[in-house]
C-alpha cells in the first residue's frame, strides 16, 4: 500500500496539488485503502498532542533541545495541513457569501 500512496503523492504533486497534497492523497487513497490503515494510533496521538499544545499554549517538551527532530518534522506537517484546511474553509465561506 505504501507504494500506491507514494505514486498518488507523486502524481498529485505533478498535477499541481502540492499545497493540498495531504488532502489529495487522502481522497485518492479511498479507492484502494481502508482509512483505519492510514491513520494509525501514533499519528492520532501526535495530532492530539499538537492541538493540546496549541490550544493550551504549552510546549510539548521542556526545551527545544529536548525536542526530537522527527517530532518537529511531524509538528510542521500537522501545522501546515491544518493551516491549508482552515484557509480553504475561509475561501469557501467567502465564495458562499457572494
pLDDT tens column, 59-84: 989 998 999 999 999 999 889 888 88
How many residues in the chain? 98
d(CA 31, CA 54): 33
Overall average pLDDT of the 84-97 stretch: 84
User: Half-sphere exposure of 61 toward its Cβ, with a 13 Å CA cutoff?
Assistant: 10
Q: What cell does 16 get?
A: 499541481
- Angle in degrees, CA 26, 27, 32, rounded to 5: 85
**Rounded mean pLDDT of 49-57?**
93
**Cell numbers representing residue 55 in the block:** 490550544
What's the CA gap between 98 and 96, in Å, rounded?
Answer: 6
The number of angstroms, rounded, from the C-alpha of 94 to the middle of its chain's C-alpha atoms is 23
pLDDT in tens, 1-50: 667 777 877 887 787 766 677 777 778 888 887 777 777 788 889 989 99
pLDDT band, residue 56 (cuts 50/70/90)? very high
49-59: average pLDDT: 93
Amino acid at each position: 500500500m505504501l507504494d500506491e500512496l507514494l505514486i498518488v503523492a507523486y502524481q498529485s504533486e505533478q498535477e499541481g496539488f502540492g499545497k493540498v497534497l495531504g488532502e489529495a492523497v487522502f481522497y485518492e487513497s479511498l479507492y484502494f485503502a481502508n482509512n483505519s490503515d492510514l491513520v494509525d494510533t501514533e499519528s492520532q496521538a501526535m495530532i492530539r498532542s499538537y492541538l493540546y499544545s496549541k490550544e493550551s499554549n504549552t510546549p510539548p517538551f521542556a526545551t527545544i533541545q529536548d525536542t526530537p527532530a522527527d517530532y518537529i518534522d511531524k509538528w510542521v506537517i500537522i501545522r501546515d495541513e491544518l493551516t491549508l484546511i482552515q484557509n480553504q474553509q475561509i475561501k469557501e465561506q467567502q465564495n458562499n457569501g457572494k
